[in-house]
Structure 1
């Protein structure tokens, strides 16, 4: 009997014993079993129905559908941040359950010749391995893209350069400023000065109460770098705690850097007058 005809009969045998297959699968995947409802609720992923779909693609040799399904699953699991160990356990449970049913089918039908069995073994295991490979590649790729997008969003929110005229921008800094954030500030400020042709950058520090010594030093260098690109920096809202630290460290702004008490004073001076 040809392998194609054999796989059709195997798939029909599994479909006729659908409930038995599901029960055997849930027994194999003991850790995933209790998470099925949660995965359906949070990720809208029906593991049981998807298992039947995967088995169909594998047994019938529908490689294109298998690859598309693996990609779809990888992206879905990455999007909803579902645990990879559950997916691996589930697919391996599908593999074991499928082989148990092949054994049971052959005991009933006694139609699989030895040569056909080895061909079937190679075909099924290769398909499952291919599914896992494509799943993990797409999971990793999409996860990396999500992380990159989130990081870029955080960086843009943490360094919000706001144009108020064609040549004047405001950079309000709020919250804590550490070494990582000053690196982001440096990159964003210098890039935006070049791109927007900023001539005056109003850097408001009223939202920052505490800065480490190296952070203050880095901000001074950013101001110097801005001046080298033809942009004057106006500092507003320096708090007493920061000023005291700058005095003790011997830091002072160059003669071209202006300081004003509040952002409102800067806006009044550069926008109204």
Structure 2
């Protein structure tokens, strides 16, 4: 279920539920969510990262936390930040509405290698690439960091007023956010949470999907607890069928003689006419001789 502005809830559609099942890792479903039994036949779950972080006291009443967060979710400000390779996307939400958002992309990944230029330079310090492409990627990487800093600094007021900040960044980018002379965030800030499920390439649509997933309360209905706690089986996507040249086949009801006649080449008759024309031309030439 998804909180609404009037304090109630609306159910997520079946397609959204199926998408969630596909995206969840098959290892530990119960470790990602708190499961609450409302009645003997009604069970709901909320992501743990929405309720508390490692910096908070583990002895806090989870039920009370859930009640406070869910009841005031429509008036809270959440920040979602996604960064992967050269793709960056971020947005500020007040309730379910987008306040501000921004996306941009820089070319920093080496072609057919899948790694950013800085990682390759760190692994080969004695033999760094000196090509024009490598220089361009290094420059773009610096521009990407500067663009992120300028954007988040311009959102300083929104970030200060945010109740929760969800960040998904690679390991080699944590220094940009949490260290240095002027870090963007304090690593001990209790509002900062990681995203507890798989995310795709950072885009505005993906930021909206992540927010909707975190902003939702899943109602399991009358399912038994064993079924709720059982991790879903990983779903393998089928490869698209290869396009093959279509070959027309004759019906099996045809006789052998009909098949032979159907497979006979038509140019045979044309060749016979061509041979007769050649013979007639030769005869005419012979008659013209005295």
TM-score, L = length of structure 2: 0.19
Larger CA Rg, structure 1 vs 2: 2
Say which structure, 1 or 2, has more relative contact order (CA 8 Å, 6+ apart): 2
More helix by share: 1
TM-score, L = length of structure 1: 0.20
